Chains A and B, each alone.
Chain A
Amino acid sequence: MQTKERPVPNGVVLEMTGDLTYANREQFKTAVEAIRQKGCRHLILNMAEVRFVDSSGLGLLALVSQNFKLSQAKVSMLKPQSYVREIMSLANIQKLIPVYDNEQDAL
């Protein structure tokens, strides 16, 4: 998984590329934790280039959402692909992390 940060008004967009799975959970965790430590108020995960999220990746998203909530910050998700979107909706993840189809809506 590759990640790239991009500052936006009142937050950070994390551009993600690859799979969010057990094998690359550390890379994702490190990137997200660094953003949280910097006091980011709103993390927007751009999932457009993420092909697959496994059960471990799903747990990681929930953990990130909980940790940001503890820092009085929020997490949103942008443009998940169809398969990932299906996994997210089966697990009702939008209850924790709102899903948006464009950046303007997320902001």
Chain B
Amino acid sequence: MIMSRMRCNAAEGGVSTVLVVDDEPTARLALAARLQRLGYRVIQAGDGKAGLEALRRERPSLTILDWMMPEMDGPSFCEYVRQDPELLTSQILMMTSHDQPEQIAEGLARGADDFLSKAASKYEITARVQAGIRAATLVRRLRDATEEIRQKQEVLEQELQSAARYVESLLPPPGIILPGVQMVHAYRPSLALGGDLFNIVPWSDDFFGLYLLDASGHGVSPALRSSSFSTFLRRDSLLRHVGSNDPGAILTEANKQFPLTETGHYFTIVFASLDLRCHTLSYATAGHGGALLHRRSGEVCWMAQPNLPLGFDPSTTYVTATLPIGPGDRLYLLSDGLYEFPAASGELWGQGRLETTIQALGQQPLETVITETIAEAVRWQGHEQFPDDVALMGVEVAI
């Protein structure tokens, strides 16, 4: 609607409307006639109040306003207009018979855009009116463009929110994943959309896989890449493409399927399998440091193996490592966003403090450990918003 008004008024050669507000009929009619001869559509108002009504109703390109009027004078009219959010961008040309510099300064200070002497020549009137209309056109274009940007931004944000809800719907619901195995997680994307994803891959009644992946970069593109990778990591897909539940074999195949993008983006990942019958944890990592085993005894074991992130070199073979696990042991998979973030001083929280925090929380309920670890990290950085995506998944084995 705003666009259509702009078109018929000025932007594409339509007739511009000028409002003349003056209590003195002779002067008003004379100016109106002159403006009509110049090709403008003219509306007239005999006092400030009627002027404001006309301004609101007609939204003229330019208002020419007499300074001296009973009740509401020119400067008061201007002040009123500048306080009204709907009218404040109106162009106002104030007319006065005594154009003293102090008076001009006062008029401008109270909200007029320009001045016109009552004694001005025909040429000056034409020139000032044209200048005013030019300014009005620019202001309208700017306002329309701002409005258009705001609307587009709103659409984009709604789409981002809906994409974010989709990504979160890919995450596993916390709870008992197999008899005797509890899982709790925390997920804090740095923007609406995150590039971290994690999930459970059920192999059998007493054997399951779990992974946490981190796509480099922030925002829409890593979120898309992550969700495509998580599709590859579904049970059926893995059995079809890899034909094995061995973590090393899975990452070796994923490394071929997900090469470095042309802009240099890639994944880091930890993939683990827990065999409850044999009490073993087998795992492989690709450039991913965030995986630790917190034993019931209190011992903490970081599972990182120094090796390339996925996609860096297609010939890489990722090797499975194996650890024994026992009742009460807890496995934590996390993204580096949970330790590579600074305090206000610039000092990073680091893996050491994360480990100390988890150790200090000890055998408190898994839910508490996850919540309190995030809370401790938030205390360190001094605010809620992490600079990178943060994901933390904890699994406790009771049998």
Contacts and interface: CB of A to CB of B under 8 A. Distances in A.
Contact of B309 (A58, A60, A89): A58
A63 B336 CA distance: 21
Contacts of A93: 308, 312
A2 interface: no
A60 B265 CA distance: 8
Nearest to A66: B260
A93 B264 CA distance: 14
Majority secondary structure, B binding face: loop
B347 to A, nearest CB: 12
B264 A92 contact: no
Best-buried of A55, A59, A63, A89 by chain B (most CB within 10 Å): A55
A56 interface: yes
Given A22-B217, A59-B264, A89 B312 contact: no
Given A62-B266, A90-B289, A96 B308 contact: yes
Contact of B266 (A22, A59, A90, A92): A59
B217 A62 contact: no
A70 interface: no
A36 to B, nearest CB: 14
Contacts of B218: 22
B264 A63 contact: yes
Given A56-B217, A59-B216, A91 B309 contact: yes
Given A22-B217, A92-B287, A96-B313, A60 B264 contact: yes
A95 interface: yes
B260 A91 contact: no
B268 to A, nearest CB: 8
Best-buried of A25, A59, A66 by chain B (most CB within 10 Å): A59
A91 B309 CA distance: 6
A63 B264 CA distance: 5
Interface residues of B, number: 23
B304 interface: yes
Best-buried of B216, B218, B307, B311 by chain A (most CB within 10 Å): B216
B306 interface: yes
A30 to B, nearest CB: 14
B287 A90 contact: yes
Contacts of A89: 306
A62 B260 CA distance: 8
Given A92-B287, A96-B312, A63 B306 contact: no
Nearest to A29: B264
B260 A92 contact: no
Contacts of A22: 217-218
Best-buried of A22, A25, A58 by chain B (most CB within 10 Å): A58
A63 B313 CA distance: 10
Nearest to A60: B264
A22 B266 CA distance: 13
B306 A59 contact: no
B288 to A, nearest CB: 9
A91 B265 contact: no
Given A59-B264, A59-B266, A92 B216 contact: no
Contacts of B311: 62
A95 B308 contact: yes
A90 B308 CA distance: 8
Best-buried of B268, B307, B308, B312 by chain A (most CB within 10 Å): B312
Contacts of B336: 55
A22 B217 CA distance: 8
A55 B261 CA distance: 14
Contacts of B304: 90
Contacts of A96: 308, 312-313
Contacts of B266: 59, 62
Contacts of B214: 55
A16 to B, nearest CB: 16
Interface of B: 214, 216-218, 260, 262-266, 268, 287, 289, 304, 306-309, 311-313, 316, 336
Given A25-B264, A91-B308, 13 more contacts: A56-B216, A58-B216, A59-B216, A59-B266, A62-B309, A62-B312, A89-B306, A90-B304, A91-B309, A91-B312, A92-B307, A92-B308, A95-B313
19 contacts: A55-B214, A55-B217, A55-B268, A55-B336, A56-B216, A58-B309, A59-B260, A59-B309, A62-B309, A62-B311, A63-B263, A66-B260, A90-B287, A91-B287, A91-B306, A91-B309, A91-B312, A92-B308, A96-B308
Which 4 pairs show the lowest CB-CB distances between chains A and B? Answer: A59-B264, A63-B264, A55-B216, A62-B312
